[in-house]
Chain A
Amino acid sequence: MIRKYVDVICLNDKGGNIRPLFLIWDEEKKVPIKKVKEVCPRASLKVGGSGLRYTCVFEPNRIRHLYYDRGKWYVEMNDHVL
């Protein structure tokens, strides 16, 4: 498993929260994030790193973790794409 850094389009709301809206995969594919189920501080023991873990629901109902660590977003990736 590897740590893959990704571009993310977010909404910074009035309350100071950050909500990821779209994930940009390989700088071309814009994947909408349907819903954020949970946000919690977590270490990623599989690929390394420590920050906020967003449990995101992507179309069609696929759940993936998105990590936010000091201003950068990454996903845990095996070898296959989302």
Chain B
Amino acid sequence: MRKTILHCDLNCFFASAEMLYHPELRDVPMAVAGDPKDRHGIILAKNVPAKRMGVKTAETIKDALKKCPELVLRKPDYETYAYLSDRVRDLYYEYTDKIEPFGIDECWLDITHSISYFGSAQSIVDSLLHRIRQEIGLTLSIGISYNKVYAKLGSDLAKEDSFYWIDSLKDIRDLPVSALLGVGPQAAKQLESHGIHTIGDAADKPESYLVSILGKFGSALHRYACGKADDEVSLYGNDHPIVKSISNSTTSKRDVGDLDDLKIVLTLLADNVARRLSEKGMYYKTVHLFLRNRDLKTRTLQIRLKENSDLGKQIYDEALKLFERNCDFVIPYRSIGVAVSDLSFKKDDLQTDLFSQIPVYDQKQKDKEAAMRKIRERFGDDAIFSLRLLQDCNLSGIETKNITWNESE
């Protein structure tokens, strides 16, 4: 049976949410942007009047104000965005239980088995568009197809508050290959240098040819282009969202230019990720390190462990090792992130080497981290932390005025 999958994308979500609560912003150029003081000064979303003035998402506030001096800037209100996003997802849930979120404002919905109840895919789409506009006050674009990749492409092609149906490869043959999910500027460049410009080109070439250009992703891309991506849409759990990875990244107050700085930032990030892991009672097997330098070039590194773990110290150690093996400080780093994936609720029962001296899993470290978390829960986040963070309080954000020094003989 051919599936029917929708990809629902809320239009300019952050900007629309701001306009919903502040209707006076509807007719003036407006953008949601981070705080320039914390160096998060980029445009996160903009409304249609701002778009008409040439304001683009992800450009700096400075550049946006040059194009549009009267641009109204709003700080992001994530609490409201999360509230609206939850309401939208609850509404989707009235149509199907197969809902897979893709960020805060996008979701895939598998409505294959709901069609007989609601009449047709068209009636579900019409009802969704109408109800989200009327009941929540937002608009969305819906892509409809028989696989997730085409559905996502459909929502990109659909106009605001409407839908776009992709029935087969024929409908999208001539679109640039960069329109497909996962094809970034680098991959597109590589493909174009091999004469692959359109989705049709990618579908016509043999899979092995795409693999020779892009490696492992070439195989996925071939499936995407041909419409053979048959990944299931995950089941929606209201209380237990499916977690695939946990990450934390930061744009530090100043650029990270040496190993001491990096250690401070990694300590903070690894600590945060480990705390969230322990809240969920999960273990990770892969550690990712994300770096963006001053020239805004991004690099992602990852390592897969032999045995899964839930230790913050191990996240820190592995991320540091990844850096030391692969990177340097020729250009200082602006943002750094750490993530863990391959998550599971169970510790691996690994058959260890009978004669190995060192146990891989460090129970002492685990107890130490658990004790630190308990202290923080009771007395606050600043109650206990690694001494390393005091090396540069500006970078680590630790407030020294709260610290009492006790010297002992």
A42 neighbours in B (Cβ, 8 Å): 134-135
Pick the contact of A49: B21, B87, B133 (CB < 8 A): B21
A residues 7-66 near B (Cβ < 8 Å) are: 40-50
Which residues of the other chain, A, contact B21 by a CB distance below 8 angstroms? Answer: 48-50
| Residues A41 and B20 in contact in the complex (CB < 8 Å), given A50-B136, A50-B137 | no
Answer yes or no: A70 CB below 8 A from chain B CBs: yes
Q: Judging by beta carbons under 8 Å apart, are B20 and A48 in contact?
A: yes
Say whether, besides A41-B87, A41-B136, A70-B83, A46 and B20 are in contact (CB < 8 Å): no
In whole angstroms, what is the CA distance A3 to B408 when docked?
Answer: 60
Q: Return A77 CB to nearest CB of chain B, in Å.
A: 14
| Known A50-B84, A50-B87, A70-B83; contact A43-B22, beta-carbon cutoff 8 A | no
Residue of B nearest to A49 (CB): B21
Q: Is there contact, CB below 8 Å, between A43 and B136?
A: yes
Contact with A along B305-331 (1 / 0, CB 8 A): 000000000000000000000000000
Task: Determine if B137 and A43 form an interchain contact, defined as CB atoms under 8 angstroms apart.
Answer: yes
Is the Cβ of A49 less than 8 Å from the Cβ of B20?
yes
A48–B19 Cα distance when bound, in Å, is 8
Q: At the interface, yes or no: B23 with Cβ under 8 Å from chain A? A: yes
Q: Determine whether the beta carbon of B23 is less than 8 Å from that of A40.
A: no
Q: Complex: how many Å from CA A46 to CA B21?
A: 10
- Is B135 within 8 A of A40, CB to CB? yes
Closest beta carbon of chain B to A51's beta carbon, Å: 9
> Which of B22, B23, B84, B136 has the most CB atoms of chain A within a 10 A radius of its CB?
B23
Known A41-B87, A70-B83; judge A48-B134 contact (CB<8 A): no
**Chain B 245-301 interface residues, beta-carbon cutoff 8 Å to A:** none
B interface residues, Cβ below 8 angstroms from A: 19-23, 83-84, 87, 133-138
Q: Ordered nearest first, which 5 A-B pairs have the shortest CB separation?
A: A43-B137, A41-B135, A48-B23, A50-B137, A48-B21
Q: 8 more A-B contacts (CB under 8 A) besides A48-B23, A50-B84, A50-B137? A: A43-B134, A43-B137, A45-B23, A45-B137, A48-B19, A48-B21, A50-B20, A50-B135
